[in-house]
Chains A and B, each alone.
Chain A
Amino acid sequence: MNLESLYREEWRRVLATTVRLTGDFDLSEEAVQDAFVAALEQWPRDGAPASPYAWLVSAARNRVVDQLRRRARFAEKQGEIEHLAALSEPEIDLSEAAMVDDQLRLIFTCCHPALAVEAQVALTLRTVCGLATEEIARGFLVPVATMAQRLVRVKRKIRDARLPFAVPPRDQLVERLDGVMLVVYLVFTEGYAATSGKVWIRSQLCDEAIRLGRLLCELIPRNPELRALLALMLLHDSRRIARAGPDEEIITLEEQNRELWDRREIAEGVPLLESALREGATGEYALQAAIAALHARAPRAEDTDWAQIARLYDALLQKQPSPVVELNRAAAIAMAEGPSSGLALIDELEAKGELAGYHLLPAARADLLRRDGRWREAAEAYRQALALVANDPERRYLNRRLAEVEGLQSAGGASNIN
């Protein structure tokens, strides 16, 4: 009996059902923890039960009932005593369908819009994924005490404001599912953004996000947007190993060794995306996944279908107007039509001022100037980007490029004299 993998598989399902049965988030979490400890003691001695899930739910439920009984005796709370009576009812629905509903309820409660987004993310990782508070704190680079406090506060709100443990009604389902997808995507991007911290911690967040994506696709099988989100994460994740060097330096898409791309993730992600698009996915995850798929399909960087990527950025801009998407679109157009068209768009963007102080704007300009052989101007733009950049890997990347264009400039930047 491997308790580690049992914990991984059963934690969420056991917790979800225990919360449904007891209506108490906080007590259930402790009780499920205790039930796993009890299993660790008893199963090797007495043999594992036929249904570990049913055993763990029943052990956890009994613990919550004990706790509530102790409290009720202490305070003689009438409400809790009535609640206990309801809990002691013998028939408990442990069917497959009830189990699916329980897990959906758990996810929707954790991602309730009345909770702060960062609290939703933390709570989802804690309760749905079963990550320890220390692991979540490390993943988000905050002190453990801060993360513990965040979790305490959010669970208090769930209890005191009485957030329902429920799947939202039909008329709110789409909107609420958007919230859930955002939480999953935030977990993923936090893991994927090459900012700082130890690589393995970040990979864990990517893995958890993909696991959550898979779970949601299983629980809500007929939603193409969900499938597009999973495809997007898989396609991005397929480049995880290729995009960082041994010292965590950034390796751009163009420079990546495509042999290192995870073919299995691509082989899973592309058909997922195709089926999502066939069934009408048109959201931002689908469009981003379509862009990622075009990269995944190109055997060499120079085979990339940049014209199609630029069109997808157009569509994305319609859905989700943002200066960052505009910047990406400008870069794609530059790759499709030549640096000067991209540079003109970047100038327009800069004139609007929305990206003032954002290092990727001068970095993108620098990149296009470099491609155009305008070394002196490129060096100037790299210096501007370096003055704004906040994290180490990106700073090292920009320094490398700066040294490169400075070298070319002094080696006889004839192309610049005109």
Chain B
Amino acid sequence: MEYLLLIYGNEADVAKMSKADQGAMYQEFGSFTQSIQESKNYVGGNQLQDVATASTVRMRGGKRLVTDGPFAETREQLGGYYLIEAKDLDEALGIAERIPSARWGSIEVRPLVKRPG
């Protein structure tokens, strides 16, 4: 079963961190990624550029509408994701809790829809 772990956090807080602290955080993410690769749970994952780089597209009445930024202002922004393979929700939650930013941000755990065939 595949789960998407959506990593939410406050970008401003991360921006305020010292270079050394940021470096330590990325290193921690690196070793976490490595550990779930070794345990064969890792399917994919990426960090996203900050929301300032985001654009939103809508098609309405055949017309394309492009706007700046994400469609909703929230305190926490989507900053990245992991796609993992886990036998059930408890295993997925156990992996999610080890993501370093779970300690200050939050991780949304979503099962993927399985299409037959």
Contacts and interface: CB of A to CB of B under 8 A. Distances in A.
A162 B111 CA distance: 8
A40 to B, nearest CB: 36
A160 B89 CA distance: 10
A161 interface: yes
B116 A161 contact: no
Given A75-B116, A77-B116, A161 B111 contact: yes
B93 interface: yes
A160 B93 CA distance: 15
Interface in B79-99: 87-90, 93
B25 interface: no
Nearest to B86: A162
A325 interface: no
Interface string A103-143: 00000000010100000000000000000000000000000
Most buried by A among B1, B87, B90, B111: B90
B116 A163 contact: no
A77 B109 CA distance: 26
Contact of B89 (A75, A77, A163): A163
A9 B116 CA distance: 40
A164 B111 CA distance: 13
B116 A166 contact: no
B90 A164 contact: yes
B93 A162 contact: no
A114 B93 contact: yes
B116 A114 contact: no
Contacts of A163: 88-90
Contacts of B87: 162, 164
Nearest to B112: A160
B76 to A, nearest CB: 19
Interface string B40-64: 0000000000000000000000000
Contacts of B93: 114
A164 B89 CA distance: 7
Interface string A137-177: 00000000000000000000000111110101000000000
Interface residues of A, number: 11
A162 B88 contact: yes
Contact of B90 (A75, A77, A160, A166): A166
Nearest to A166: B90
A163 B92 CA distance: 10
Given A114-B89, A114-B93, A162 B116 contact: no
Interface size class on chain B is under 10
Contacts of B109: 161
A168 B93 CA distance: 13
Most buried by A among B1, B87, B93: B93
Contacts of B90: 163-164, 166, 168
Most buried by B among A112, A114, A162, A168: A162
A164 B116 contact: no
B68 to A, nearest CB: 34
A163 B109 CA distance: 12
A272 B87 CA distance: 40
Nearest to B111: A161
A161 B111 CA distance: 5
A160 B111 contact: yes
A164 B1 CA distance: 12
Contacts of B88: 162-164, 166
A78 to B, nearest CB: 9
B112 to A, nearest CB: 10
Contacts of A77: 116
A114 B91 CA distance: 13
Contacts of B1: 162
A165 B90 CA distance: 10
A162 B1 CA distance: 8
Contacts of A166: 88, 90
Interface in B1-20: 1
A283 B116 CA distance: 49
Contacts of A112: 89
Nearest to A80: B116
A323 to B, nearest CB: 27
A278 B80 CA distance: 51
A114 B87 CA distance: 16
Contacts of B89: 112, 114, 161-164
A83 to B, nearest CB: 14
20 contacts: A75-B116, A77-B116, A112-B89, A114-B89, A114-B93, A160-B111, A161-B89, A161-B109, A161-B111, A162-B1, A162-B87, A162-B88, A163-B88, A163-B90, A164-B87, A164-B88, A164-B89, A164-B90, A166-B88, A166-B90
Q: What are the 9 closest A-B residue pairs judged by CB atoms, nearest first?
A: A164-B88, A162-B88, A161-B111, A161-B89, A164-B90, A163-B89, A162-B1, A162-B89, A160-B111
Interface of B: 1, 87-90, 93, 109, 111, 116
